[in-house]
Structure 1
Amino acid sequence: MARDPNQAKKSRESIMNSAISEFARVGFHQAKISDIVANAGFSQRTFYIYFKNKEALYMEILENWKNKLIQQFIIGKNDPNVQITVRRRWEEIFKFMAYNPDYTRAVYYMNPYIEEIRKDILNSLIQTMTSGQENKYLRKDISIGILAESTLATIESLSLRYVLNGKESSIFLAEQLSDIYLNGVFKKS
């Protein structure tokens, strides 16, 4: 008997969502397939229909999250108002991080493979910022590598301290950061 493709998709997504919660709760190494499937309401046999093993499931979750975050960096080339664009990008990044806190925790803060993910995110930021320099949005005399590293560190730190626990809104953080990045921190004389 053939499986219903919609039901198969829902079952797979249910297992993935249960895994995200479990990885966020106990980390990759302590997570057990038996707990993941039990929380999703399936058997271990069902798990192996969709995933080769726990690591394959985790790597798929990581890849999906990373690609969605990287999409938040993209800035339109012909956007006439750089200030609004910068604020909007910061806001979208923090909204993404806050949308599913377990997903962000599981992928970013409880991840044994974080350095590989960081490297991919950093490379994406470098590409985006290099394009910004070429399109004259960013100054030519700044190091894109340092700017990208500091931006990624800002995303990581503020997400962990303010976004994931709901201490500040994405809008407030975006307004603050776009002001700092666009206007600097020193009082104008």
Structure 2
Amino acid sequence: MGQIKVEKNAGGIEGLCVIEPAVHGDARGYFMETYNQRDMEAEGLTMNFVQDNQSCSVKGVLRGLHFQKEFPQGKLVRVIKGSVYDVAVDLRSGSRTFGKWFGIELTEENKKQFYIPEGFAHGFLVLSDMAEFCYKCTDFYHPGDEGGLAWNDPEIGIKWPKLLGEYKGNASAKGYQLEDGTKLNLSDKDQLWAGLKDTFHF
């Protein structure tokens, strides 16, 4: 018991949690528990995970901002190789922090995990040459249920680290690059999402 340290309501947004596992290391390497249901429940985190996912992305890839419309997923995310800047945006109806975002750098060195409850948009930017990204989900993937928001929507105002470029009124990656010259790399779909106001019509 007690193998994790949890920062609750990260960034002042209810439900977001930054989790730091205890890492036991010596000259041979290290050992840690990446998930322990009893420790999570002791911290009041009683979610039930049903699916594990893993992705690999090269430097400059930005995935997001994605959310599920009818079948929302809570996600426990971490990086096992490389470094990403991971972001959650509150989309919960009636939330006092609707539209607010919080970001954290997740790396293979810091071994931090980030829990994002149901009702958030999620995305990440790869800062290392390559990153392997793992996450547990509280619901299964449902084809056709995905929604999205423009990663650079000024209404949300995410400050992506090490990213240079000027907003031109859409989600296109054109004209954006990391400080070392690596071009921003988005899927065709992620360059078509609209902003918060146009998506939620307020």
Query: TM tier, shorter chain?
Result: under 0.3
What TM-score do the two structures reach when normalised by structure 1?
Answer: 0.25
- Give the structure with higher Rg (CA): 1
Higher strand share: 2
